[in-house]
Chain A
Amino acid sequence: MSEIHSSPGYSRLIFDKNFDSFSEFLHLFNGGSLKFPDSENKIIAKTPLSPPELIYAAGGLAYDPYTRETIIHSVMNENFDLVNNGVDTGLSPEYNPWNLIMAGSMASGATKTTLSGAAISCGNWDDQTKKTWQALSEKLGTPVYFWEIPRWDSDSEKWAIKFLKAELEQLFQWLQYTTGVKVTSQSLSDAVINGNRIRQQLQEIDELACSPGRPLSALEYYMLHLASTDYFPNPRETHRIYDQIICELRQRVEKATSNTPDEPLRIFMMGDETQQFQLFKMIEDCGGQVVGADFRLALYYKLIPQDGSILDNLAHWIWNMPTNMPTMERIRATIPFIQRQKADAVIINSTIGSRNLPGSERIVRDIIKQEMEIPVLSIETSLPLQDNEKTEYLIRAFIEMNRY
């Protein structure tokens, strides 16, 4: 039995035991976060919403410690002392627990991953991630390279893209220095092609998640969604496992009976990722079905164009990632996805201590209500074992009120 299966957090979660390909996915996830496979490739850390292609094009292994270290150490192993280790690196105890746990894991040596460097994207979101990596670079001595995505504004496009292309070119030089592998148009194209295959799969998983008969449970959907951050252990393996998952889900959809007497409330999740994985079972127990989420949507909102200049395409694609947009534009870019998933309602999660997405929560709530005329519930979550009673009460009341 692998470590993840014997962890206290795992035993609290109820996974779909008949979902064979997901078990393999979990095994892979576990292996990735606890023991990076023997590889000569250099491991380069990244932030959750930067495209992993950039690192794979340089022959590196992309690793998102924000997601992986937190799931292993906080959600599964319930090692919340890492928050204190995070604070010891210089972060405020008021930071969100994703950054604190990640920093704590890296700084205390709890991580099993040895980084060769970190390519950290910064832009007009989430100061905490940037500052966390700045503190970590001081603490660990790991080379940290900040590359930047300029603010989104239709009037700034010309010079913003020029800036971003220059940033990417400098990033590639740094990656080459760190991994020893030169980024070429060909390696970048290959990485984009591989990444696009995974993007297509993620879009397909979204499509299957919103099929009637609930073929994919919310928790499994959430983990598949989160894990898309870095294509671990490599794009080929990620593609293979997602392929198996999609096959199994398709079979489930074919077998599913429609017109079930109690149709669930179809919920689209937005906002911050949560460490309270029990939330998803709770939603289902209260009569909801998670049909989509925007946590990692920015990574596959559309395919990266493969014709023409790959650098130019990449720069445009990155600049237009919804996460890079001001709130109004971000939500307007997200609404078609919510509609495509045929959501009846939206739940917005704010992680306590997070200030970026929660800061614009009122705008998100108001626009969705105005433009989609569907109900919206705002909830707050924190570390996994936080008292859930209030959240459960809110979710139950929300679903009951809007279900029929």
Chain B
Amino acid sequence: MNTYDSILLAPLEERIETDSVRIIQAKAEGKKVVGYFCPHVPEELILAAGMIPVRLAQGGDIEAVTAGEDYLKADSCPYARSCLGFQKQGNPIYSNVDAICVAYTCDSMRKNQEYWAEYLGVPSFPLGITQSHDRLRSKTHALDYFKNELNLLASRLEALSGQNITSSKIKQAIRINNQIREQLWRLFEYPVDKRTPIEWRNVFRIAQAGFTMDRLLYLNELIKFNKQLAKIRPNKSIKDTRPRLMICGSIIAQGDNKVLDIIEQAGGNIVADSICTGSMFARKRVTMFGLAGNPMDALAERYLYNIPCPFMTDLPKRLGRIVKIIRDYNVAGIIYYSLKYCDTWRAEFKAIRDVAQQKLATPTLLIEAEYSPADIGTIKTKVEAFIEMMEGR
């Protein structure tokens, strides 16, 4: 196992502390901080408005979940409950945002937007996003609608920051984020190789570090880190023979380590993911065509069509993507992580399991979990049995 020297791999508590200090300092200097939850919100617009984007994606904390139950019922997804709970508890990042942008994805996130606005007193900007557009682009009006919603969001962000969002500012933000995506994607591609110098789990940590880090600092650290890896790659890594797994399903928030730890302890080797806090951000650039290209068009195209979340109805697109990942990463089994009460992901388990089995003979294990430690024993038993089965194949 390799060890690395990078602030990107700092423990979560350390990172929250560092980033919250930076955020508080920036606020004292007059900067504004804008939070968002789902990756459908183009943070390029927040950057272009001269504000600090932070992705509010912490989880795994049972106290935050309980605090969120003042608003959402106990049978709503624990991530959604904790989004409210962290703010209520005074989490240093959640309680320092000046506004939030909420993509209208699932029921729980829509309710979150309402409670943040009405009960937590934080200005919240909803972003409409279509659900029924398809990969064949038979609904051309979906892109027009989303573009208009992005323009509305931009005007709301301008009003908050007092700065104009110009095309050149958006282009600059796109450039930075595209470079981040490229650097991150390079990391996510390493585990394709059985002699990878870095495991997926560490790449995942690095991806999550980007949720709250300063964008330029993050980019520079990613470049440095990739250079480090390029040096150790040729000779120092050993071939990994553990069963190669893909993790797929509901959001795995920062701090929600339970299932990942169990997999690791059971001898499983996650090499790929299809989760919105993992490789999803990195997988596709914002592409502008030529110098005269409209950056809003480019953002709309990228953020509407390239984030395969199951609140959208185009299941075949998601299935196709998952099959491709299984092939590209030589995946032997899928761990399907469904947060309890996550209605959208849970309903796709069967379709994904069936396709993986029928097309590639790849088995899938369903893990349903809350943030409480009560289910650790059950999950451990299931994961161990699944991995044993993989090893016996």
Q: Which residues of A contact B (CB under 8 A)?
A: 89-92, 94-95, 122-128, 130-132, 134-135, 138, 146-148, 150-151, 153, 155-156, 158-160, 162-163, 166-167, 170, 326-328, 350, 352-353, 355-356, 358-363
Contact = CB atoms under 8 A, between A and B. Distances in A.
B39 interface: no
Nearest to A122: B131
Contacts of B315: 134, 138
B75 A352 contact: yes
B58 to A, nearest CB: 20
B126 A125 contact: no
Given A128-B343, A158-B148, A355-B107, 14 more contacts: A95-B343, A125-B107, A127-B107, A127-B343, A131-B310, A134-B315, A150-B145, A153-B128, A159-B149, A163-B145, A326-B110, A328-B118, A361-B73, A362-B119
Q: Which of B119, B128, B343, B344 has the most CB of A within 10 A?
A: B343
A91 B347 contact: yes
Contact of B132 (A122, A326, A361): A122
Contacts of B110: 124, 326
Contact count band on B: 35 or more
Interface stretch (B136-144, B165-173, B218-226, B375-383): B136-144
A156 B149 contact: yes
Given A94-B340, A151-B128, A163-B141, A132 B73 contact: no
Interface in B101-139: 104, 106-108, 110-111, 114-115, 118-119, 126, 128, 130-132, 138-139
B313 A90 contact: no
Interface string B313-337: 1010000000000000000000000
A362 B71 contact: yes
Nearest to B353: A90
B362 interface: no
A160 B118 CA distance: 24
Nearest to A150: B128
Contact of B145 (A126, A146, A159, A352): A159
B305 interface: no
Contacts of B185: none
A131 B132 CA distance: 12
The 10 A-B residue pairs with the shortest CB-CB distance, nearest first, are A90-B350, A131-B347, A159-B148, A166-B141, A359-B111, A92-B346, A163-B145, A146-B132, A151-B128, A148-B132
A93 to B, nearest CB: 9
Given A94-B340, A124-B104, A153-B126, A358 B347 contact: no
Interface in B137-195: 138-139, 141-142, 144-145, 148-149, 152
Contacts of A326: 110, 114, 126
Contacts of B130: 148, 150, 163
11 contacts: A124-B104, A127-B106, A134-B315, A134-B347, A134-B348, A150-B128, A153-B128, A159-B148, A327-B114, A359-B73, A360-B111
Contacts of B26: none
B148 A355 contact: no
Given A148-B132, A163-B145, A138 B351 contact: yes
Given A122-B132, A153-B126, A163-B144, A127 B344 contact: yes
Nearest to A144: B313
Contact of A159 (B111, B114, B139, B144): B144
Contacts of A156: 128, 148-149, 152
Nearest to B105: A127
A90 to B, nearest CB: 3
A352 B145 CA distance: 34
Interface in B38-65: none
Contacts of B70: 362
Contact of A146 (B128, B148, B313): B313
B353 to A, nearest CB: 9
Contacts of A158: 148
Contacts of B350: 89-90, 135, 138
Contacts of B148: 156, 158-159
A148 B131 contact: yes
Contacts of A163: 130, 141-142, 144-145
Contacts of B131: 122-123, 130, 146, 148
A353 B75 contact: yes
Contacts of A359: 72-73, 76, 107-108, 111
B114 to A, nearest CB: 5
A60 B75 CA distance: 38
Contacts of A360: 111, 114
A167 B141 contact: yes
A148 B313 CA distance: 10
A327 to B, nearest CB: 5
A131 B344 contact: yes
Contacts of A92: 338, 343, 346-347
Nearest to B344: A127
A167 B131 CA distance: 12
A24 to B, nearest CB: 39
A355 B80 CA distance: 12
Contacts of A166: 139, 141
A130 B141 contact: no
A363 B343 contact: no
B340 A355 contact: no
A124 B341 CA distance: 18
Contacts of B71: 362
B346 A94 contact: yes
A153 B76 CA distance: 25
Nearest to A378: B73
Q: Which of B108, B119, B350 has the most CB of A within 10 A?
A: B350
A316 B348 CA distance: 33
B351 A147 contact: no
Contacts of A159: 144-145, 148-149
A128 B341 CA distance: 11
A123 B138 CA distance: 18
A127 B311 contact: yes
Nearest to A359: B111
Contacts of B340: 94
Contacts of B346: 91-92, 94
Contacts of B152: 153, 155-156
Contacts of B344: 127, 131
A135 B349 CA distance: 10
Nearest to A169: B141
A328 B114 CA distance: 8
A92 B106 CA distance: 16
A358 B81 CA distance: 13
Nearest to A91: B347
Contacts of A356: 107
